[in-house]
Amino acid sequence: MFEELSNFRKYLPSRKSFRNMTPLARRELKSGMAFLTPWIIGFFAFTLLPIVASLIFSFMNLSITDGLLSPPKFVGFDNYVTLLNDRQAGVDPRTWINWFSSGTPTSMGVTITFALVSLPIGILFPLGLAVLMNNPNLKGKMLFRSLFYMPFIVPFVASVFLWGGMLNSETGWINRVLIALGMAKEATPDWANSTFWVYPTYTIMGIWGVGNAMLIMLAGLQSVPTELYDAATVDGANGWHTFWKITFPMISPVIFYNLTLGIVGVFQYFLVPLVVNNGTGRPGGATMFYSLYLFRNFFTFQDMSYGSTLAWFLFIIILLITFVLFGTAKYWVYYAGESRS
Partner 1 sequence: MTKVLSTNVQEKSSAREKAVSRTVSPNWRKNLNGFTITAFTLAILVLFLSPFAFMIFTSLKTQDQISIVGAPIYPAAPPKFEYNGEQLEIFIVPLPDGTTKELAMFKKGQKESTFIDPANLDAGEILWTGSWRLLDRPWEFSPTYSNYSEAWGAINYPQKLWNTFQYAIVSVIGTLISCTLVAYGFARFRFPGRDLLFIVLISTIFLPAFVTVIPTYTFFVKIGWVGTWLPLIVPHFFANAYNVFLLRQYFLTLPRELDEAAMIDGASPLRVLWSVIIPQSYPVFMAITVFHIVFAWNDYFGPVVYLASAPDKWPISYALSMFNGIYGQRPQLIQAGALMALILPLILFVVAQRFFVQGIVVTGVEK
Partner 2 sequence: MKKKLLATLGLLIIASMVLSACGAGAAAGPVKIRWFVGLGTGTDPAQVTVQEEVVKDFNASQDEIELVLEIVPFDSARDTLSTQIASGAGPDIVGPVGWGGSNDFYGQWLDLTDAIAATKFDTSIFDPALIKFYQVEGEQVGLPFAVFPGAMYFIPAMFDEAGLAYPPQKYGEKYVLDGNEVDWNWDTVTEVAKRLTIDVNGLNSTEEGFDRSQIVQVGYSAQWQSVLSVATFYDGAANIYSGDAKGSYESTIPAGWQDAWQWYYDGMWGDQPFIPTGPLNAAPEFGNGNAFNTGKGAMGLTQTWYTCCLADLAASGTEFQLGIQPMGADGEVNGRIDADTFRIWKGTKNPNEAFKVLSYLITTGGDKLLPTYGAMPAIPSKTEAFFKVKSEQYPFVTPESWDVFVQGLAYPDTPSSEQYQPNSIEASARFATFFDLMNNTEGLDFEGEYAKLVDDLNTIYNK
State the binding partner of 6 from partner 2, partner 1, none, CB within 5 to 8 A by kind: partner 1
DSSP sequence for 112-156 = HHHHHHHHHHHHHHHHHHHHHHT-TT-S-HHHHHHHHHHHHHS-H
CB 126 within 8 A of CB 213: yes
Residue 322: how many CB atoms within 10 A of its CB? 13
Contacts to partner 1 from residues 266-285, by CB under 8 A: 268, 270
Residue 22: in which H helix or E strand, if any? Answer: helix 21-42
d(CA 199, CA 178) in angstroms, rounded, equals 19
Selection from partner 1, partner 2, none that 301 binds (CB < 5 to 8 A by kind) is: partner 2
Q: Residue 186 interacts with partner 2 (CB under 8 A)?
A: yes
Which of partner 1, partner 2, none lies near 281, with the C-beta cut-off 5 to 8 A by kind? partner 2
Q: CA 305 to CA 64: how far, in whole Å?
A: 10
41 lies in the binding site for partner 2 (CB under 8 A)? yes
- Between 195 and 229, name the residue whose CB sits nearer to partner 1: 229
Question: Could you tell which of partner 2, partner 1, none binds residue 286, using a CB distance below 5 to 8 A set by kind?
Answer: none
DSSP 32-73: HHHHHHHHHHHIIIIIHHHHHHHHHHTTB---GGGTTTSPP-
Q: x/- binding map, residues 6-35, to partner 1, per CB under 8 A? A: x-xx--x------------x--xx-xxxxx
- Judged by beta carbon distances under 5 to 8 A according to partner kind, the member of partner 2, partner 1, none in contact with residue 123 is none
Interactions with partner 2, residue window 294-313 (CB under 8 A): 296, 299-302, 304
Does residue 206 bind partner 1 (CB under 8 A)? no
Shortest distance in whole angstroms from residue 212 CB to partner 2: 24
Cβ 29 to partner 1 shortest distance, Å: 4
Q: With CB cut-offs between 5 and 8 Å by kind, which of partner 2, partner 1, none does residue 18 bind?
A: none
Distance CA 163, CA 172 (A): 9
Give the separation between CA 123 and CA 131, rounded to whole angstroms.
12
Total of chain residues touching partner 2, rule CB under 8 A: 39
47 binding partner 1? (CB under 8 A):
yes
**Only segment of 89-97, 190-198, 210-218, 278-286 that touches partner 1 (CB under 8 A):** 210-218
Residue 87 binding partner per list partner 1, partner 2, none, with a CB distance cut-off of 5 to 8 Å that depends on partner kind: none
CA 151 – CA 209 distance, rounded (Å)? 5
Residue 97 or 153: which CB sits closer to partner 1? 153
* Beta carbons of 134 and 220 less than 8 angstroms apart: no
Distance of alpha carbon 314 from alpha carbon 83, whole angstroms: 11
Q: What's the rounded Cα separation, in Å, for the pair 245 and 243?
A: 6
Distance CA 116, CA 163 (A): 22
Q: What are phi and psi of 74, to 5 degrees?
A: -80, 135
Q: Does 164 bind partner 2 (CB under 8 A)?
A: yes
Helix (H/G/I), strand (E/B), else coil: 17: coil
Figure out which of the listed residues 73, 97, 326, 330 binds partner 1, where binding follows CB under 8 A.
326
Q: Does 68 participate in binding partner 2 (rule CB under 8 A)?
A: yes
Residue 123, interface with partner 1 (CB under 8 A)? no
Q: Which stretch binds partner 2 (CB under 8 A): 8-16, 214-222, 278-286, 323-331?
A: 278-286
Q: How many residues are given for the chain? A: 341
Binding site for partner 2 (CB under 8 A): 26, 29, 33, 40-41, 44-45, 48-49, 62, 64-69, 161, 164-165, 168-172, 185-186, 190, 193, 278, 280-283, 296, 299-302, 304
